[in-house]
Amino acid sequence: MDSTPAPPDAAPVAHAAPFPVVGVGASAGGLEALTGLLHNLPARPGFALVVVQHLDPAHASGLVALLARVTRLPVCEAADGAPVAADRVYVIPPNADLVVRAGAFRLTPRSAARGPHHPIDTFLFSLAKERADRAVGVVLSGTGTDGTLGLKAVRAAGGTTFAQDDTAKYDGMPRSAVAAGCVDAVLPPEGIAAALVRVVEATGPAPDAAPTGADTDAVKRSEQLVVSVRAYARGIVETVRSPLVILDAALRVVSANAAFYDTFRTTPGETEKRSAFDLGDRQWDVPELRALLNEALSKNGAVTNHEVRRALPGGGERVMLLSARRMVPPVPPDGAHVLLAIEDVTDQKRAEAALVESERRARERAEELAALLDAVPTPVFIAHDPDCRHMTGNRAADELLRNPRGADASLSAPEGAKPLHFRAVQHGRALETGELPAQRAAKGAAVADFEFALAFDDGTAREMLAYATPLRDEQGHPRGAVSVLVDITERKRAEDALRARQAQLLSFVEQAPAALAMFDRAMNYLAVSRRWMSDFGRGHGALVGLNHYAVHPDLPDRWKEIHQKALAGAPQSSEEDLWVRADGSKVWLRWAVRPWLDAQGAIGGIMILSEDVTARKDAEEAARDRAVHLAAVLNTAADAIITIDERGAIASVNPATERLFGYGAAELVGQNIKMLMPPPYRDEHDGYMARYATTGVKRIIGIGREVQGQRKDGTVFPVELSVSEVLDGQRWFTGIIRDITQRKKAESALRESERFAHSTLDGLSAEVAIVGPDGIILAVNKAWREFAAANGMSPERVGEGTSYFAACAGSGGPGVADGALAVAGIRAVLARQVPEFVTEYPCHGPAEERWFLMRATPFPGDGPPRAVVAHENITRRKELEREVLESAAEEERRIGRELHDGIGQELTGLGLMANALVRQLDGPAGPANPLAGKLVSGLQRVHDQLRTLCRGLLTAELDAQGLRAALRELAQRTSDQSGIACTLECPEPVPVSNPTTAKHLYRIAQEAVSNALRHGQPALVRIGLHATPHGVRLSVADDGPGIANGTAIGWEAKGLGVSTMRYRANLIGGALHIGPAGATGVLVTCTVPQEDDRGEDQ
């Protein structure tokens, strides 16, 4: 049934009210239009606005929040019993019908009747009856005809009506209202907003409203408003298509619009200032019109839709609707006037009659169609708009979707308003908005054979097959769709089950480890396994569909006979059968041929199962060969091999057992194995066997153990026993027994030798350690342990199992370089790069200076590389060397003084006499003798060499600043004497407070420069002296060819004075390092700590 409300059955009753009420109806596309309307309203428009939007009845609406974002007016949902207030926007709630009565809202549940639901008409009927001439009706975008009858009621009550123009996204509702002739103005949403404000301003306050006593400024604003309203009203009058005429209080024509003159074929000159009853041929001079106009001039103020029938010139009898409205000041300002509207509704009346009849027939057809659809077991949905916002379905549709009977469904409602208890899914993906068949059809595309699933929140799902057809309006535009869903869940399940069974069968055949093929009665292939393809495919890419005899044309007749017997119902099989392949090779097959039955129980064909047992045949032959070989192995094995059963009884022995224990095989077989064990093992063996049988815990099986055996003569000897378990119908144990008497003697001798070696090491005074390839200390002697304890070094740092390399690298202070050199040297020994590594290093204590010599040599023997590292205290030797060095230095000084003071003075005297001799020879007596000149130059050369020698021997005592000057002099002298550039790099003074330290540093520099000149062939020698955070650093670098292998370990053995330099460095507590200076050349550095930094070294 149609739920369109019936028109009011009584004349509207006007209720005095201080503000108008505007009812706005909208459907599809209405949100956009409502946004444009509300956005253009002022904050206090002077009226209440009620939005009646078509909403999904089953879900909450988000319209209030959406509209509140676009308007300055308060927006709320209409509540039952709430009073209507001006300057507010009210929104109809879902699943309800809204009316206004006695100044308050009334809500009733939405009607459950089938057919279109018209909530807009329902509200506008109540609004016309409630507000009369202060009712305003607006119809915006939407499909269908809802709102048309409501606008008629508003207009009949003297109210104002508007409809959206062609800006409507869906023009069905506004176009229906315009076609019905009940719209005062057709405007866009923003135009309707402006018109609403002006209409409300033009109507002024309610008739019963008391004057406000406005001041002069208010009067001026009112006058300006009057001018604006009059101009606006004139514009509206001229745009109205129905005849309008304005009469004064004497009912004379003041003015008329163009439609009036066109309709009645007259002119302003023939009309204005004439009595309305004298117009034309006085056809309007009728009592009904007089009464109508008089009533309009009375206090009632308006009479609407008074129907009269009159004959017009050239038009025959026409049906007219006359509406009169009293116009009071300020419009017009010269007294009350009457606005008379004449509407020719002849065609409308005819159309309405036809429409009523059509609607009656349509309702009947709709009821018949609804009954028909409810009787159809297939779900059918009807989308009433192109966006599928409002959809209805038959009984089967409601049952499918689990919706309340007759409830609307929506496929494109805003989030929060969609049905949440099911989802549309296709191929595991949720379908998005616009992908469902109804939505696609509502946009104009027919859909057929669309499969998808409805997944419900309770975990169930239904498979659906959908068809959808578009519904179109008069212009052919899509306005909705009809969608039919066929539940194919059971069919899909059956198909899935069938496919699963087929897939299982084909998979079974294909994956079968044996050669398996399935044939029909004509011996055509239905399915084959991979093994069949490899064994009997004969190069075919696929066999399914081919005939077996065509693939194997040379198949012997006996096989065809076997096939026929199986097709007749007699299964055939063979455990071993020789098969000759196409290439002539032969294999052994185990096969079976069996018939298979179809769904009716008849033989549909045969299945052939073939298994290649050639490997088994070969294995059996190999097993026989292995048995022969095993017997030979057992007979020749040097170890005793005994097999016993789970009771411990001996089952077999090999000849070695007889030789080892002195028993014959006949004496052992059948006896308990414990006869070969001495006490107490003999007494405990049965308990071992019983415990294993009960618990299964293995104590010797698969592990091996050293035990004792007892020979026939009673002697006991050590043996190594390995036991394995074999399960072959029963439990067997096989033991392999080896006599380890000689190995035990060797192990004892080795232990004795190790004790001797440890005793020897402990007897040495030097600290000795053996290190492995990764620097881990493997063993140390007693002296090593005692030295570590005496110097506060724990075993966790330098004991067995610790890293000696880490101990060397962790040494602090100036000994770091010695530690790195020691690690490099030991690594070279371990790598067999050098036969021996020796270095000396300081290890001073807080109260004394100590020196040690470290010697690393390879550890003899097989196995991984190891090194013997020995440390020997050479402090006393160092002290003697220092004394010798000091004595030598003193002797050098003495020799220098004697050469300078003795021979030097004599050479000076000889030189003076030689010069005198030359002068005499070169005098007047005659020319100089050349031999005398040579004598003078020779004496001078010897004197210069003597001075140079003395300068080297008589090095001055170097003070805090003297080292820098001495090194500068050394560089200059080297450059002068050798012709090779030698420079000093010492940008700032470097104080060396200890003269002895300065002297040794000078000697080290002197020796390093000498070595560079003699062995490096350099173009440049650089001497450097720099202060470091902890001391002084001396360096000598050349740009010669450098060290051949990039390391200084082997360089020290070349006789280049390195030992002397290192000795001097050790004397002053320094560290000497020799290495490459870069890509070429050699760099010698000596780093000496400050006096207060020379503490205990690592």
CA–CA distance, 756 with 149 (Å, rounded to integer)? 126
Which tokens hold the place of 734?
A: 């096989």
* Phi and psi based region of residue 251 (left: phi greater than 0; alpha: psi -120 to 50; beta: remaining): left
Which 8-state DSSP code applies to residue 544?
A: T
CA–CA distance, 939 with 285 (Å, rounded to integer)? 170
Which element (helix H / strand E) includes 885? helix 875-898
Which tokens hold the place of 1071?
A: 């560290």
Please compute Rg for the chain using Cα positions. Answer: 63
Task: Specify the pairing of strand 603-612 against strand 767-771.
Answer: unpaired
Measured in degrees and rounded to the nearest 5, phi and psi for residue 822 equal -65, -45
Amino acid at 380: V
Comparing CA positions, the residue from 145, 385, 392 lying closest to residue 124 is: 145
Q: At what angle do helices 189-203 and 30-39 cross, to 10 degrees?
A: 50
CA–CA distance, 270 with 260 (Å, rounded to integer)? 12
For residues 964 and 1025, the answer to whether their CB atoms sit within 8 Å is: yes
For residues 832 and 865, the answer to whether their CB atoms sit within 8 Å is: yes
Query: Is the dihedral angle over the CA atoms 43, 47, 48, 53 positive or is it negative?
Result: negative
For residues 523 and 547, the answer to whether their CB atoms sit within 8 Å is: yes
For residues 136 and 47, the answer to whether their CB atoms sit within 8 Å is: yes
Which 8-state DSSP code applies to residue 803?
A: B
Non-local (6+) Cβ contacts of 946 within 8 A are: 899, 900, 903, 904, 907
Comparing CA positions, the residue from 160, 206, 136, 124 lying closest to residue 304 is: 160
Q: ∠ CA(450), CA(454), CA(456), 5° rounding?
A: 175
Q: At what angle do helices 148-156 and 119-131 cross, to 10 degrees?
A: 10
Which 8-state DSSP code applies to residue 221?
A: H
Q: How many helices (H) and strands (E) does the chain have?
A: 32, 41
Question: Helix (H, G, I), strand (E, B), or coil: what is residue 588?
Answer: strand
Question: Helix (H, G, I), strand (E, B), or coil: what is residue 516?
Answer: strand
Which tokens hold the place of 962?
A: 């003297």
- The count of C-alpha atoms lying within 13 angstroms of the C-alpha of 382, restricted to the half-sphere facing its C-beta, is 17
Query: Other C-beta atoms within 10 Å of 123: how many?
Result: 27
Task: Just list the catalytic residues.
Answer: 27, 54, 146
Non-local (6+) Cβ contacts of 537 within 8 A are: 528, 543, 551
Amino acid at 894: R
CA–CA distance, 98 with 91 (Å, rounded to integer)? 10
For residues 939 and 947, the answer to whether their CB atoms sit within 8 Å is: no
Query: Other C-beta atoms within 10 Å of 568: how many?
Result: 9
Which tokens hold the place of 393?
A: 């379905």
For residues 578 and 586, the answer to whether their CB atoms sit within 8 Å is: yes
Query: Other C-beta atoms within 10 Å of 1092: how many?
Result: 7
Three-state secondary structure string covering 958-990? CCCCHHHHHHHHHHHHHHHHHCCEEEEECCCCC
CA–CA distance, 1067 with 1070 (Å, rounded to integer)? 7
CA–CA distance, 1008 with 1084 (Å, rounded to integer)? 7
Which tokens hold the place of 197?
A: 């404000």
Q: Which residues pair with 859 in a beta bridge?
A: none
